[in-house]
Amino acid sequence: MTTAELARPYTPSVTTRARRFVKRYRFEIVLISPLFLYVFGTTLVPVLSSIILGFQDPPRGGGFPSLASYLLVIEDYQFVSAFTNTLVVTFASVSMELVLGLIVAMMMARSFRGRGIFRAIMLLPLGIPVVVAASNMRYIFLSSGYLNEALIDLNLLAQPIDWLKAPLALFTVAASDMWKVTPLVMLILLAGLESIPTELYEAAEVDGAGAWQRFRNITLPLLRPAITSAVVIRGIDAFRIFAHPMGLGVGRTVPVLSTFGYYEYQRVYYSTSAATSTILLVMILVAVVLYIRLAGTEEITG
Amino acid sequence: MSVVSGADRQKRRGFNWRKLGSGVGFGLLVLVVVAMTVAPVYFMVSLSVMDPSEFFRPHPAYFPTKITTQWWERVLNSETLYPAFMKSLVVATVTMVIAVVISVPGAYAISRMAPNIKYLLILSLFFTRMYPEIGIALPVAVLFLRLGLYESIIGLVFAHLILVLPVCAWILVGAFETIPRDLEEAASVDGASRLNTLWRVVMPLAAPGVSVAAIFSWLLSWDEVTYARFLTLLHPTLPIQLLDIIGRSGPTVVATWATIVTIPVVIVTYLMQKWLRADYLAGAVKG
């Protein structure tokens, strides 16, 4: 036996390793199986059958493989606007939530009188059902709603604006989503803020760094892992946004991919609905991969 | 010495106008953010009791001066309220029970795995969240139409579990991680089987965390709309009933329905405060 062979560390074959793993975790595997079988069975199987259904003939399948459903969908002017609306709403809502969430998290990180009440009020939207949150936005954004009324009373506006008509409605949908989930983004960012050691700020202050410099050079870089997880978690949800446009009553007039897919299903066009959901899935995957590439992988695990 | 630290400089200046200015600015910011958060909920409640004389005019009143119960009476007497309410209640409760029964063993086992395997398992559970719900709901709805489970409570529970299970398991992993393993080792030295240990040693300690996971599961199911929209038409859940009302009724009636959908959530969330300890969610957030 040569020294080189001796020096090589002992690496058991895949099957022995698997057998050892099963032996060691036998009890755990039994306990985990129902959970994982259910979760994966009820997601992978439907998603795969949706993908397959999308490549069949409209309206209800058959004739696999066929691109007819995709062609039908792409020719639909509603689909084109649903596609761009989804991108715009996702971008607008995630960036608005991030900015407002960061502002509120930084407010929360300060100690001031009434902080406990402030915290309780800021978490209020978490306790409001999504559909209720969206339908509440109607009283504010209807053309006879409170926002127009306030703007007219403040002499900022002469004529009421229709906030529920495209393209402004995209902002309204994003604002509705923002109201509901900013507390969640705020909690994620607050956890990140609290993990930044205060000594860093004290040292920077001693060195004469201003508030903006401290924010720019300490807070933002050290908050990047928290920001990345907030963007990924929120971004995935924002792409699939459904309840907000429905609750605002603009599901049909201002379609996003989820509502478009729903109305296709409702008029018994199953294959085009499936094709829409597959397009949405690809969009989400591409966006997540792109974002993780741009933001750096080590931050996901951090 | 020419080197003076910022803190020293501030101390010397006497009355600090800048600090006052930033204090006022901060107070204003607090007011704006609080108003933005509270306004929609305030308008919901105030519209639900607003007198027609204050509502049916070019602009509804900011602060109602006359209060009416007529919208509440109309909604509480509506034929669609009770079945929808009961359906939501039953679906959310059954979903909660099944979610806890399936998640407790799974989450316990995950929490006792080696850290890298644990991380991989939790991440893989959450990958299922990337799939568009409409892509899952469509085949499920088509299948249920064929099986006659469309509109059924079993069908909805089945669909809601897809959404609820990963979240429920995630919270429970955080809860089980706060329980030291030494206790289980002590129990196994005493000759208890692992299942016995889980049931008699771990579960009593995990009870508050299990309650939080159960209540989160209930809330998720109560709030859910996408699957419910795909799987019901004539016998909707309460949130879907609200969606149907939105296009058909005026803001005062919609506001009343919305308040009714919210009240159980408020009660349940209030109950949860008792058990909610930051470390369950913190453990869960760290994943």
DSSP A217-265: IIIHHHHHHHHHHHHHHHHHHHHT--HHHHHTT-TTTS--HHHHHHHHH
- What's the whole-number mean pLDDT along residues A156-163? 87
Name every chain A residue with its beta carbon within 8 A of the beta carbon of B106: 31-32, 34-36
Q: Are A103 and B29 within 8 A, CB to CB?
A: yes
Name every chain B residue with its beta carbon within 8 A of the beta carbon of A258: 132-134, 226
My answer on whether A24 and A112 are in the same domain is no
- Scanning B77-201, the segments in alpha helix (DSSP H) are 81-111, 115-127, 133-147, 153-177, 181-189, 194-197
User: Quick check: is A70 in a domain?
Assistant: no
Q: Are A144 and B60 within 8 A, CB to CB?
A: yes
My answer on whether A119 and A172 are in the same domain is yes
Q: Are B62 and A258 within 8 A, CB to CB?
A: no
Per-residue pLDDT at A257: 95
Residues 6+ apart with CB under 8 A from B226: A240, A242, A243, A258, A262, B133, B134, B137
Per-residue pLDDT at A84: 95
SS3 A23: helix
Name every chain B residue with its beta carbon within 8 A of the beta carbon of A39: 125, 128, 162, 165-166
My answer on whether A220 and A103 are in the same domain is yes
Q: Are B251 and A31 within 8 A, CB to CB?
A: no
Range of the domain at A42: 1-54
User: Quick check: is A61 in a domain?
Assistant: no
Residues forming a β-bridge with B67: B50
- Kindly give the parts of chain B with pLDDT less than 50: 1-7, 10, 281-287
Q: Which of B119, B220, B224, B237 is nearest to B168 (CA)?
A: B220
> What tens digit of pLDDT does each residue of A79-119 get?
999 999 999 999 999 999 999 999 999 998 888 888 889 98
Q: How far B226 CA lies from chain A's nearest CA (Å)?
A: 7
- The nearest alpha carbon in chain A to B107 belongs to A32
- CATH number of A196's domain: 1.10.3720.10
Name every chain B residue with its beta carbon within 8 A of the beta carbon of A282: none
Q: How far A4 CA lies from chain B's nearest CA (Å)?
A: 31
Q: Are B134 and A240 within 8 A, CB to CB?
A: yes
Of B38, B58, B242, the CB nearest to A131: B242
- What's the whole-number mean pLDDT along residues A8-16? 76
Q: Which of A249, A90, A244 is nearest to A176 (CA)?
A: A244
My answer on whether A135 and A257 are in the same domain is yes
A215: pLDDT strictly greater than 50: yes
User: Quick check: is A65 in a domain?
Assistant: no
Per-residue pLDDT at A9: 66
Per-residue pLDDT at A284: 93
A302: pLDDT strictly greater than 50: no
Give CATH superfamily name and number for B76-286: MetI-like (1.10.3720.10)
Mean pLDDT value across chain A:
88
Of B38, B105, B119, the CB nearest to A121: B38
Residues forming a β-bridge with A149: none
Residue boundaries of the structural domains of chain B? 6-68, 76-286
- Between A and B, how many CB-CB pairs are < 8 A? 239
Per-residue pLDDT at B181: 81
My answer on whether A30 and A91 are in the same domain is no
- Percent above pLDDT 70 for chain A: 95
- Percent above pLDDT 90 for chain A: 50
Name every chain A residue with its beta carbon within 8 A of the beta carbon of B5: 205-206, 208
Q: How far is CA B99 from the centre of its chain?
A: 15
Per-residue pLDDT at B286: 42
Q: How far B4 CA lies from chain A's nearest CA (Å)?
A: 9
Tell me how many domains chain A contains: 2
Q: Are A53 and B139 within 8 A, CB to CB?
A: yes
Burial of B285 (0-12, 13-18, 19+ CB in 10 A): middle
Q: Are B141 and A46 within 8 A, CB to CB?
A: no
Q: Are B138 and A46 within 8 A, CB to CB?
A: yes
My answer on whether A46 and A187 are in the same domain is no
Per-residue pLDDT at A300: 47
Q: Are A47 and B136 within 8 A, CB to CB?
A: yes
Q: What are phi and psi of B67, to 5 degrees?
A: -110, 135
User: Quick check: is A71 in a domain?
Assistant: no
My answer on whether A40 and A91 are in the same domain is no
Q: How far B190 CA lies from chain A's nearest CA (Å)?
A: 19
Per-residue pLDDT at B14: 61
Per-residue pLDDT at A296: 65
Q: Are A43 and B131 within 8 A, CB to CB?
A: yes
Per-residue pLDDT at B18: 73
Q: Are B112 and A28 within 8 A, CB to CB?
A: yes
Per-residue pLDDT at A276: 95
Per-residue pLDDT at A5: 56
| A215, A133 contact by CB (below 8 A) | no
My answer on whether A148 and A217 are in the same domain is yes
